[in-house]
Amino acid sequence: MNVYDFTVKTRNGEEKSLSDYKGKVLLIVNTATGCGFTPQYEALEELYKEFGPQGFEILDFPCNQFGNQAPGNDEEIHTFCTGRFGITFPQFAKVDVNGENAIPLFQWLTENTKFDGFGKSPMAFILSGVVKKTDKDYKNNGKIKWNFTKFLIDREGEIVARFEPTDMKKLKQAIQASL
C-alpha cells in the first residue's frame, strides 16, 4: 500500500484519487486557520513556488481537531488562506486526522510513522504540555499531535519523513533530497 491507493474529497466535495499525483513529491499537511502555526502557510507557499516546477505538490487538509482552530467551512477556510497567505497549492475538504472518524489517508500516515518529539524550542515545550493534557501517552503513539504536522511522500508514493509543527528547518532539505 502507498499514498496512491487513497481517494480524498476536494473542498468542493468531489472525490480525488491521489494516484493523480503519481511521480510527484508530496507534502501532506493537516492545517488550521486560527493556530499559532498558521503563519506556516506563508513558508509552505514559498516552498511550493520554489519546488513546484520540479514536481512538488503540497496537499492541504484543514482539521478542526486541535483546539477548534479551524472552525469555518471549506470555502471560508480557502478564502482565508488565499486572501491572507496567497496559497496556490491544493486545499482539500476539512477532515479528521485522528480517532474513529479519521480519513483512511491519515490513518495510514499515522500507522506508518512515529512521533519523534517536538524538539527543544520554547514552543515545543508549550506544545508538549498542551498535548499531554489530552493524550498522556503522546510520546509513544503515531497519532497526530497538533496542526501543521507534515508528511513527505516520495515519487513512488512512499512515506519519507514526518515533521512535527515545530520542525520546519529540516523540511526544505528533505524536499530537495526527494526531488
DSSP category for residue 73: -
Query: What CATH code is carried by the domain that includes residue 45?
Result: 3.40.30.10
pLDDT in tens, 98-119: 999 999 999 999 999 999 899 8
**Helix boundaries (H) for 14-101:** 40-51, 74-85
The pLDDT value given to residue 122: 84
Determine, yes or no, domain membership for 67. yes
pLDDT in tens, 119-158: 888 888 889 999 999 889 999 999 999 999 999 999 999 9
Determine, yes or no, domain membership for 130. no
Determine, yes or no, domain membership for 129. no
Q: Which residues contact 107 (CB under 8 A, 6 or more apart)?
A: none
| Residues above pLDDT 70, as percent of the chain | 100
Q: Cα separations (Å) of 147 from 54, 81, 97?
A: 27, 15, 10
Rounded to two decimals, the pTM is 0.96
Q: What is the mean pLDDT of the chain?
A: 95
Instruction: Name the catalytic one among 8, 35, 97, 171.
Output: 35
DSSP category for residue 98: S
Determine, yes or no, domain membership for 141. no
- DSSP, collapsed to helix, strand or coil, labels residue 92 as strand
Determine, yes or no, domain membership for 128. no
* Structural domain count of the chain: 1
35 catalytically annotated = yes
Determine, yes or no, domain membership for 120. no
Range(s) of the domain holding residue 90: 3-113+147-178
pLDDT bracket for residue 54 (50, 70, 90): very high
